[in-house]
Amino acid sequence: MKEKILSQIITECPWRDTLYWYDALDSTNTKAKELAKNGAPHGTTIIAGQQIGGRGRMGRTFVSPTGGMYLSVILRPNCSPDAIMHLTCAAAVAACQAVESVCGIQANIKWTNDLVFQKKKLGGILTELGFGNDGTVTYAVIGIGINCNQKKDDFPAEIQRIVTSVSEITGTPCSPAMLAAACVEELYRMDAILLSEKNAIIDSYRRHCITLGKEIQIISGEDCRYGKALSVNENGGLLVAFADGTIQTVTSGEVSVRGMYGYL
């Protein structure tokens, strides 16, 4: 499988030299963090055929059976966390571009980190950071999971209604190897412009973000507030007009966003 993935990645991409394939892992993000703590270089890439303990945002499980694409990349930005607040947004755009180039479908983004197609979840992004004593980001792990060939039965009953996969959408099988290769290339391109073209990245994110303009629920623990999603700021924060008339920016660390009547 590793050879198949490498054969699809442009030879100019140096990340090819530090790409690791596993048939199964607990979580590619967990593995990447372990490698990052042990000095793995910028661009180290971990890809797995399935995850036993796939993780999502806010401690959720990311169901990761065979048939999906599960990948994590280590970056060494050596900058302040403020400089890369838009990293999850940048990775989400890269993932949409990879899906479009390999599968010919236009995935969108539900703020902040869900890949969606026609109101169903197609995948997700999980970004995790490590810090030095001086507060600089010593590593960032970007994890991308995309449902490629799963059928409804591959998911627990309670999420079957809200998930989809590329093969379910297109009616043809989708190669996880091709998609992984495209994700590596898109993340490599994204990394090259991450700090220099922040505005262009966020503009692209806004174009993909289906949350904008929608009436939403903003859930924080037990607390649920209602509002309208107005815009995404330069750091990836969501500008919300709340029902009480106030306008506030919510950041992804704090809240979960749902549509007024369900997932979207």
The footprint of ligand BTN (CB under 6 A) covers 27-29, 51, 54-57, 60, 62, 70-72, 113-114, 124-126, 143-145
Q: Which one, 121 or 198, has the nearer CB to ligand BTN?
A: 121
For the CB of residue 243, give the shortest distance to ligand BTN in the complex, in Å.
Answer: 26
For the CB of residue 187, give the shortest distance to ligand BTN in the complex, in Å.
Answer: 12
**What is the 3 state secondary structure string of the chain?**
CHHHHHHCCCCCCHHHHHEEEEEEECCHHHHHHHHHHCCCCCCCEEEEEEECCCECHHHCECCECCCCEEEEEEECCCCCHHHHCCHHHHHHHHHHHHHHHHHCCCCEEECCCEEEECCEEEEEEEEEEEECCCCCEEEEEEEEEECCCCCHHHCCHHHHCCECCHHHHHCCCCCHHHHHHHHHHHHHHHHHHCCCCHHHHHHHHHHHECCCCCEEEEEECCEEEEEEEEEECCCCCEEEEECCCCEEEECCCCCEEEECCECC
Q: Which one, 11 or 116, has the nearer CB to ligand BTN?
A: 116
Q: Which one, 66 or 136, has the nearer CB to ligand BTN?
A: 66
For the CB of residue 146, give the shortest distance to ligand BTN in the complex, in Å.
Answer: 8
For the CB of residue 72, give the shortest distance to ligand BTN in the complex, in Å.
Answer: 5
Q: Which one, 72 or 204, has the nearer CB to ligand BTN?
A: 72
